[in-house]
C-alpha cells in the first residue's frame, strides 16, 4: 500500500495534476501584466495628485480577489480573505495592503518569468527529442560532418548550415538525451513553481499567521487572567449576597417572626375588645416587614440576573436601569439583533455599575448611554458609551469600580477604555464581541 502510494506520488506530476499545475503557472503571466499597473501607478501619475494614492488602493483588492479566484479554480486551494480595513483610507498604511502589493509586484512578476522559463524548457525538450524527425530537412545538412562554408566578409554565417554542423559535430544522441532530461524534469520544475507560488500567496495574500498566533496567545493569556479574576469576583459576589441576605431580608424575616410570636403571646392576655385593634396593628407591621423583605429579595435577584434581560432583551433591561437611576439618563439603543446571553449580561452589569459609580463619585447632573453594533476585526462588536458631565478625574488603574468593570468586559474578551480629564466630562467606551 505504501509502495503504491509512493509510486502514485512520483508519477502525479506527469499526469493531469502536472498539466493543471502548468496551466496555473502560466496564468501568472497575464496577472503579472495587471500587477504592472500597480507598479506604474505610484510614480507615473505626477500630473494627477490623487492617482498614485487611489489607483493602488482600488487595484490591490481587485488583484487579490483575482489571485484568490485563480488559486481556488485551478488548484482548489482557498486562501482566507483578510478582514477589510475600516475606514477605507487606512488601507494605505495597513500591513495587509503592503503584503498584498509585495505579492503582486514582486512575487507574481517572478513567477511569470519562472513560467516563461518553464515553457521554454518544455519547448526545447520537445524540439530536441523530435530531432530525428526533422533533422534531415535542415538545409546544409552534411552527413560527413564537414564544417559549414565560411561566411563572406561583412555577412552573417549560414544559420541552418551552422546548426547542421553542430548536430553532426556533437552527436544527435546527446541532444536527444538532453531533450529527454528536460522533459523529465519539466513537471518537477512546474511542481516546484506551484509550491513556491502557493507558499508565497498563503503568507502574503492571506492573514498574517504569525501575528494571528501572537494575538491568539495574547487573548488566551488575557482570558486566563480574566478567568482567575472572574473566579475571585464570583467569590466576592457570593460573600456580598450572603451579607445582603443576612443583613437585609433575613433580619426583616427574623423581626417579622419575633413580632408575630410576641403578638401571639400578648393577644391572649388582652381583653376581647382590645384584641381586634391590637391584631390589626400587628398585621399592618407584619405586612410592612414582609413587603420590605420581598423588595430586598427582588432587588437581590435582579442583581443576580434580571428576568427582563432574558425575556425582552438589552434595550428593555437598560431602560429599567435608566428609569431607576438617581439622575436623568438619556438612553439610545440601536441594535438589529440580540447578542449572546453572556454578552448581554456583561453589558447590563457594566452599564448598571457605571451609573452607580456616576451617582456616587461624579457629582453629575445627567448621563448619556449609547449602545449600538459595529463591524469588528473578528466579527460584529457591541459598543457601549456611557458619558456624564461630572467632575471627572476618574483613575482607570487604581479605581476599584473601574477595575471591576474592566474585569467584567475582559471575561467575554471585551475591552474597556475611559477618558476622564479633570473637570469632566467622563466617557466610558466598552466593546464586547456579539458572539462567543
Residues 279-299: tens digit of each pLDDT: 777 777 777 777 777 776 776
pLDDT at 147 over 50: no
pTM greater than the 0.75 cutoff: no
How is the chain split into domains, by residue range? 2-204, 218-304, 307-433
The answer to whether the CB of 129 falls within 8 A of the CB of 176 is yes
Pairing of strands 379-388, 415-419: unpaired
* pLDDT recorded at residue 384: 92
Is pLDDT above 50 for 232? yes
Residue found under cell 479566484:
69
Query: What's the rounded Cα separation, in Å, for the pair 357 and 188?
Result: 69
CA 258 from centre of chain:
62
CATH annotation of 307-433: 3.30.565.10
> Closest Cα to residue 206, out of 92, 93, 100?
100
Binned at pLDDT 50, 70 and 90, residue 322 comes out as: confident
Alpha carbons 360 and 426: distance in angstroms, whole number: 14
CB atoms within 10 A of CB 385: 14
pLDDT at 200: 86
User: Could you read off the pLDDT of 362-378 as tens digits, one per residue?
Assistant: 888 889 999 998 887 67
Amino acid at each position: 500500500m505504501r509502495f503504491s502510494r509512493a509510486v502514485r506520488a512520483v508519477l502525479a506530476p506527469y499526469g493531469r495534476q502536472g498539466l493543471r499545475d502548468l496551466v496555473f503557472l502560466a496564468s501568472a503571466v497575464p496577472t503579472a501584466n495587471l500587477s504592472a499597473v500597480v507598479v506604474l501607478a505610484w510614480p507615473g501619475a505626477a500630473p494627477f495628485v490623487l492617482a498614485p494614492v487611489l489607483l493602488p488602493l482600488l487595484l490591490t483588492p481587485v488583484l487579490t480577489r483575482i489571485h484568490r479566484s485563480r488559486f481556488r479554480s485551478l488548484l482548489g486551494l482557498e486562501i482566507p480573505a483578510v478582514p477589510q480595513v475600516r475606514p477605507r483610507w487606512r488601507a494605505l498604511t495597513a500591513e495587509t495592503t503592503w503584503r498584498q502589493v509585495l505579492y503582486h509586484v514582486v512575487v507574481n512578476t517572478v513567477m511569470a518569468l519562472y513560467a516563461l522559463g518553464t515553457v521554454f524548457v518544455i519547448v526545447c525538450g520537445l524540439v530536441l527529442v523530435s530531432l530525428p524527425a526533422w533533422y534531415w530537412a535542415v538545409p546544409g545538412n552534411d552527413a560527413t560532418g564537414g564544417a559549414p562554408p565560411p561566411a563572406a566578409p561583412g555577412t552573417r554565417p549560414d544559420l541552418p548550415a551552422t546548426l547542421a554542423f553542430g548536430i553532426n559535430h556533437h552527436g544527435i544522441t546527446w541532444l536527444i538525451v538532453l531533450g529527454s532530461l528536460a522533459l523529465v524534469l519539466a513537471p518537477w520544475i512546474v511542481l516546484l513553481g506551484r509550491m513556491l507560488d502557493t507558499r508565497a500567496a498563503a503568507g502574503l495574500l492571506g492573514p498574517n499567521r504569525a501575528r494571528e498566533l501572537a494575538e491568539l496567545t495574547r487573548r488566551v493569556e488575557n482570558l486566563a487572567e480574566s478567568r482567575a479574576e472572574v473566579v475571585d469576583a464570583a467569590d466576592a459576589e457570593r460573600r456580598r449576597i450572603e451579607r445582603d441576605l443576612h443583613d437585609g431580608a433575613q433580619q426583616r424575616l427574623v423581626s417579622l417572626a419575633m413580632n408575630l410570636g410576641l403578638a401571639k403571646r400578648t393577644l391572649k392576655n388582652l381583653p376581647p375588645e382590645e384584641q381586634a385593634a391590637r391584631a390589626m396593628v400587628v398585621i399592618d407591621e407584619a405586612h410592612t416587614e414582609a413587603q420590605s423583605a420581598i423588595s430586598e429579595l427582588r432587588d437581590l435577584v435582579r442583581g443576580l440576573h434580571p428576568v427582563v434581560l432574558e425575556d425582552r432583551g438589552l434595550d428593555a433591561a437598560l431602560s429599567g436601569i435608566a428609569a431607576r437611576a438617581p439622575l436623568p439618563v438619556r438612553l439610545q439603543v440601536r441594535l438589529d439583533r440580540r447578542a449572546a446571553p453572556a454578552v448581554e449580561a456583561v453589558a447590563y452589569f457594566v452599564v448598571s455599575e457605571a451609573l452607580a459609580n456616576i451617582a456616587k463619585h461624579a457629582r453629575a447632573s445627567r448621563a448619556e448611554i449609547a449602545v449600538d453594533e459595529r463591524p469588528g476585526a473578528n466579527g460584529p462588536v457591541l459598543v457601549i458609551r456611557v458619558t456624564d458631565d461630572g467632575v471627572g478625574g476618574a483613575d482607570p488603574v487604581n479605581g476599584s469600580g473601574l477595575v471591576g468593570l474592566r474585569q467584567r468586559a475582559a471575561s467575554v474578551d471585551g475591552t474597556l477604555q475611559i477618558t476622564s480629564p479633570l473637570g469632566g466630562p467622563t466617557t466610558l467606551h466598552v466593546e464586547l464581541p456579539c458572539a462567543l
